Structure 1
Amino acid sequence: MLAGYRTPSGRVLDKVIHHLDDHCTAFIRLSPFATLATASVDGWPDVSPRGGDPGFVRVLDGSRLAMPDRSGNNRIDSLRNLSGNPRAALMFFVPGIDETLRVYGTATPIPADALGVDFTEFGRQPLSVLVIEVERAYFQCSKAVMRSGLWDPERRVERSVFPPFSQVLRDHCRDDTIPDEATLRTGLALEL
Structure 2
Amino acid sequence: MSTFELQPDFLIKDAGSLRSLYEPTHALALQKQRHTLGPNAQAFIRRSPFLCIGTQGNEGRADVSPRGDAAGFVRILDDSTLAIPDRPGNNRLDTLDNIIANPSVGLLFLIPGYDETLRVNGRARLTTQRDLLEEMAVGERLPKLAIVVEVDEVFLHCAKAFRRSHLWDPGSRQDRSEMPSLMQMILDDTTGAPDDPEAMTRMDENLEVAYRQTMY
Query: In which range does the TM-score fall when normalised by the shorter chain?
Result: over 0.9
Partner of 1:121: 138
Correspondence for 2:203 among 180, 185, 189: 180
CA RMSD between the two structures: 2.1
Q: Does 1:134 align with 2:157?
A: no
Q: Is the 8 A contact 1:87 1:106 kept in 2?
A: yes
Q: Between Structure 1 and Structure 2, how many residues are aligned? A: 191
> Which whole-Å CA distance do the structure 2 matches of 1:92 and 1:137 have between them?
11
- Kindly state the Cα deviation for residue 124 of structure 1 after the two structures are TM-superposed: 2.5
Instruction: After TM superposition, give the deviation of residue 173 of structure 1 in Å.
Output: 1.4
Secondary structure, counterpart of 1:60 in structure 2: strand
1:143 matched residue in structure 2? 160
Match of 1:153 in 2: 170
Tell me the equivalent position of 1:59.
Answer: 76
User: Is the partner of 1:49 in helix, strand or coil?
Assistant: strand
Structure with greater strand share of residues: 1
Of Structure 1 and Structure 2, which has the larger fraction of its residues in helix? Answer: 2
Partner residue, 2:197: none
Partner in structure 2 of residue 71 of structure 1:
88
Q: Deviations over 1:93-118 (max 9, x none)?
A: 00011000000000000005242642
Name the TM-score, length of structure 1 as normaliser: 0.92
Q: Is 1:112–1:125's contact at 8 Å kept on the other side of the alignment? A: no
Moved over 6 A (4+): none
Deviation at 1:188, TM superposition (A): 6.4
Tell me if the contact between 1:35 and 1:50 (Cα under 8 Å) persists in the aligned partners: yes
CA distance in 2, matches of 1:184, 1:47: 23
Q: Distance in 1 between matches of 2:182 and 2:211?
A: 15
Task: Give yes or no for contact 1:88–1:107 (8 Å, CA) kept in 2.
Answer: yes
Query: Deviation of residue 176 (structure 1)?
Result: 4.2
> Which digits, 9 at most, give the CA deviation of each residue in 1:50-79, with x for residues without a partner?
000001111111000000011110000011
Verify the 8 A CA contact 2:133 2:142 in the aligned structure 1. no
Alpha-carbon contact 1:36-1:89 (below 8 Å) kept: yes
Between structure 1 and structure 2, the one with the greater Rg is 2
How far apart in 2 are the matches of 1:119 and 1:82? 20
**TM-score relative to the length of structure 2:** 0.83
Q: Is the 8 A contact 1:65 1:134 kept in 2?
A: yes
Segments of 5+ residues of structure 2 without an aligned counterpart are 1-15, 195-199
